[in-house]
Chain A
């Protein structure tokens, strides 16, 4: 498994230069413009969450996925490697940002830390959904499907609010938002827990898919 991790890191080393540059530019921009790291952290988490899908796409394109089945590592190791990296990248990014926020910006508050953890959890949720699909359908199809899963409800909600703007008052929307915020604050500790459980369940599903997959 160590060899597979090293392979993914070497492959991604070449691919991560531009995303890292974008993240670095955003960090500088955030540092000099305002103190709010939310946008920078959200964007960075998104980039680091999808890196593992890029590694998977490289495996598919080169045929490494089937070649690695001829190595003394086993099918499960292929799946474990991807999950380990998909968890590590956003997690390390979160730790890095918490440290940066504490020491480079004007200190870390509980609310900021919570919102950053929440964003990381959303990244983990995304990975937990997309990885089984990627193992089942391939990265291209799974990316498309994930876009549909994410954007169709988002567009539907947006369209509903627009169409019903006359019937729903802005106070009602603010009230719903406040309710959600309160709910998240009250049960905040459960969110990382749910993210980890989802990732583990996703791993079990992916392992099952990969065991049966034919190359």
Chain B
């Protein structure tokens, strides 16, 4: 099942009364981690639910591990590890019960692997899930997602409820998982710093539309935050400005880093830094977009 892309979403459209996913397209190359970012209500969970067949899309095609979603679900689920934004095991179960159930659901269920994750995450085997903390529940879901032949891990806000130490621990697990070049991860999160740490690609969804889906390195190389006065800003070539925010000290602009670097004079009082993913996201959402 070696394919160029672990996940391909093309022209995905889904309409609700008050919200639409509009022509969403992106591709996750096999062996990579893609971060899926966007503000609350941008459509991240709707996109993930469409991918997993929980909701019916209006238009578009989705390929998972090289096969069309329409034809491969639910068979392909044997190779998907899913962590939703809540612990979805009934609370009266223990982790031993989870293992008993899952080994009858997944042909490739690996009890040893699950047990190892239980030890690694220090999860009790006899305690009921209702007595688990949020972090423990998330770890249990991740352990279950990784204890069968998962080749694509899909996580919906999985790390959002965790403290920084637990998040670091989980990110390490993802990095280990990705050591196998046939494995891929698609994760949505609000915590952009986490994504910046481990992702190869970033896809940014805003109000149901993809604003960009790009290699993280390309994004970090391409964009800069240019701080200048109004006069200096007017001298800039408009084509290199993506978005601006005005404040009482002047203008902050998201710009094409290399283009602006060439235009900046040595005597200029303006300054420019590389833009972080979070800054790019904020400028594109909160700033005034420039289309020139």
Q: Which residues of A contact B (CB under 8 A)?
A: 2-4, 6-7, 10-11, 14-15, 58-59, 61-64, 66-67, 69-75, 212, 214-215
Contacts of B78 on A, CB cut-off 8 Å?
72
A194 to B82: give the CA distance in the assembly, Å.
Answer: 42
Min C-beta distance of A214 to chain B, whole Å: 4
Contacts of A2 on B, CB cut-off 8 Å?
104
Interface string of B63-95 (1 = CB under 8 A from A): 000000000001111101010101111111100
Pairs A–B under 8 Å by Cβ, sample size 12: A6-B101, A7-B90, A14-B92, A66-B49, A67-B88, A69-B74, A70-B80, A71-B106, A72-B77, A72-B105, A73-B105, A215-B54
Q: Counting CB contacts under 8 A, is B239 at the interface?
A: no
Q: Which residues of B contact A (CB under 8 A)?
A: 49, 52-56, 74-78, 80, 82, 84, 86-93, 97, 100-107
Which residue of chain A is the closest to B49 with respect to CB atoms? A215
Contact across chains for B56 and A70 when beta carbons are under 8 A apart: no
Contact across chains for B101 and A63 when beta carbons are under 8 A apart: no
Contact across chains for A70 and B82 when beta carbons are under 8 A apart: yes
Min C-beta distance of B142 to chain A, whole Å: 13
Min C-beta distance of A213 to chain B, whole Å: 9
A4 to B104: give the CA distance in the assembly, Å.
Answer: 8
Contacts of B55 on A, CB cut-off 8 Å?
214-215
Min C-beta distance of B256 to chain A, whole Å: 40
Contacts of A7 on B, CB cut-off 8 Å?
90, 101
Min C-beta distance of A131 to chain B, whole Å: 19
Given contacts A3-B103, A70-B77, A73-B77, 11 further A-B contacts (CB under 8 A): A11-B90, A11-B92, A66-B54, A66-B88, A67-B88, A70-B80, A71-B74, A72-B105, A72-B107, A214-B49, A214-B56
A14 to B97: give the CA distance in the assembly, Å.
Answer: 12
A95 to B12: give the CA distance in the assembly, Å.
Answer: 53
A72 to B103: give the CA distance in the assembly, Å.
Answer: 12
Min C-beta distance of B126 to chain A, whole Å: 14
A3 to B89: give the CA distance in the assembly, Å.
Answer: 13
In the complex with contacts A59-B90, A62-B90, A71-B53 CB distance below 8 A: no
A39 to B107: give the CA distance in the assembly, Å.
Answer: 45
Contact across chains for B52 and A71 when beta carbons are under 8 A apart: no
Contacts of A62 on B, CB cut-off 8 Å?
87-91
Contact across chains for B84 and A71 when beta carbons are under 8 A apart: no
- Residue among B78, B93, B101, B106 having the largest count of chain A Cβ atoms under 10 Å: B101
Candidates B52, B77, B102; contact of A3 at CB < 8 Å: B102
A61 to B100: give the CA distance in the assembly, Å.
Answer: 21
Min C-beta distance of A76 to chain B, whole Å: 10
Which residue of chain A is the closest to B105 with respect to CB atoms? A3
Contacts of B53 on A, CB cut-off 8 Å?
69
Contact across chains for A67 and B90 when beta carbons are under 8 A apart: no
A29 to B97: give the CA distance in the assembly, Å.
Answer: 35
Contacts of B97 on A, CB cut-off 8 Å?
10
A74 to B103: give the CA distance in the assembly, Å.
Answer: 16
In the complex with contacts A14-B92, A70-B77, A214-B54 CB distance below 8 A: yes
Contacts of B107 on A, CB cut-off 8 Å?
72
Contact across chains for A6 and B100 when beta carbons are under 8 A apart: yes
Contacts of B93 on A, CB cut-off 8 Å?
10-11
Candidates B88, B104, B106; contact of A64 at CB < 8 Å: B88
